[in-house]
């Protein structure tokens, strides 16, 4: 089977073109191939599939084999893949995901995609829809105790669940220790992606992420969107900001008129291979 390794701000996935390949058990394949010692190595597996309702369809699997409902960095890489590999000549695409149809706008230079702007849709804050188990309609700036610590968290869904907490210094955090108790907290019946955000100024956020099913990744597109929304809700930044991640930078805008979040960033090929 042919595969392509790609990365968006360091969030690296193994991509399989399911117009040409058939993947019988994607969950098991994601676990096997994501292993950075015994497999190809990646944050998970992404299938590029035909769609009856959009130009293409994405299925995304975390490194633990769980299927995610949306992947911002992954959508940008799919945009680059399908344009550069001539599966389409369009620079405005629709992509079917488990969290609805997303629109991608490809910026092309010298015949290849450099950056992609993704309409990520409107954020969801209703607790029951994230989902978060709590006794309030939304979960904004409320306490969560996990392990030996209590955090002030704001929960947002971008089609997948996120819990955002604001910190003084992201660099000092030990995510492998503090991430799992939050990811698996009983208040998150479907687990959650956990973002640690250090506001730099009202247009710049630093962020690290402990991802549901993949652990710490160098970037998380949906997490950057959730972080921006949470920062606006908590009065920590304007509706458009640069999010600085370990793997690079993303431009996130929560548009006031439309209420929709836009994610803009790079996408890169790493290598092609066959297994
Ligand atoms: N890295 C992805 C998010 C993966 C989310 C996944 N960990 C889950 O929701 O289970 C992104 O760029 O949006």
**Span 123-135, mean pLDDT?**
98
Nearest Cα to 78, choosing from 11, 29, 32, 130?
Answer: 11
Fold topology of 127-259:
Diaminopimelate Epimerase; Chain A, domain 1 (3.10.310)
Reported as a single tens digit per residue, the pLDDT across 159-193 is: 999 999 999 999 999 999 999 999 999 999 999 99
Residues whose beta carbon lies within 6 Å of some atom of ligand 1: 11, 62, 68, 71-74, 160, 193, 211-214, 217, 220-222
Residues of the chain with CATH 3.10.310.10: 2-109+266-274, 127-259
Binding residues: 11, 62, 72-73, 160, 193, 211-212, 221-222
- In the prediction, which pLDDT does 68 show? 97
Which pLDDT score is estimated for 82? 98
pTM of the model: 0.97
Whether the predicted pLDDT of 158 surpasses 90: yes
In angstroms, what is the span from residue 133 Cα to ligand 1's centroid?
A: 21
CA 245 to centroid of ligand 1, rounded, Å: 14
To test the pocket of ligand 1, the residue of 67, 68, 216, 262 to mutate (highest count of ligand atoms within 8 Å of its CB) is: 68
Mutate to test the pocket of ligand 1, among 157, 222, 225 (most ligand atoms within 8 A of CB): 222
Reported as a pLDDT band with limits 50, 70 and 90, residue 148 is confident
- For domain 2-109+266-274, the question of CATH label 3.10.310.10 is answered with yes
What pLDDT, in 10s, does the model give residues 68-124? 999 999 999 999 999 999 999 999 999 999 999 999 999 999 999 999 999 999 999
Q: What is the pLDDT of residue 147?
A: 82
Q: Give the residue numbers annotated as catalytic, written as ranges.
A: 71, 220
Q: How far is the CA of 110 from the centre of ligand 1 (A)?
A: 30
Q: Which atom of ligand 1 is nearest to the CA of 222?
A: 13
């Amino acid at each position: 089977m042919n595969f392509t390794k790609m990365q968006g701000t360091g969030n690296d996935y193994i991509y399989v073109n399911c117009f040409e390949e058939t993947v019988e058990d994607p969950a098991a394949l994601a676990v096997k191939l994501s292993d950075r010692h015994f497999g190809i190595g990646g944050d998970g597996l992404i299938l590029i599939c035909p769609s009856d309702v959009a130009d293409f369809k994405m299925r995304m699997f975390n490194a633990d084999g769980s299927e995610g409902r949306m992947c911002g960095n992954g959508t940008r890489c799919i945009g680059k893949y399908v344009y550069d590999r001539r599966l389409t000549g369009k620079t405005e695409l629709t992509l079917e995901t488990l969290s609805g149809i997303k629109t991608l706008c490809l910026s092309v230079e010298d015949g290849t995609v450099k950056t992609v702007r993704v309409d990520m849709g409107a954020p969801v804050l209703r607790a029951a829809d994230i989902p978060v188990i709590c006794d309030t309609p939304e979960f904004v700036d409320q306490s969560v105790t996990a392990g030996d610590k209590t955090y002030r968290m704001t929960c947002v869904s971008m089609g997948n669940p996120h819990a955002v907490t604001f910190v003084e210094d992201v660099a000092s955090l030990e995510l492998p220790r503090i991430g799992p108790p939050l990811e698996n907290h009983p208040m998150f019946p479907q687990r959650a992606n956990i973002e640690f955000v250090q506001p730099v100024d009202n247009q710049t956020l630093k962020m690290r992420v402990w991802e549901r099913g993949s652990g710490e990744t160098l970037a998380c597109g949906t997490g950057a969107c959730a972080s921006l929304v949470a920062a606006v809700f908590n009065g920590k930044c304007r509706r458009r900001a640069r999010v600085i991640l370990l793997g690079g930078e993303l431009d996130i805008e929560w548009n006031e008129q439309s209420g929709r979040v836009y994610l803009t960033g790079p996408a890169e090929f790493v290598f092609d291979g066959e297994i």
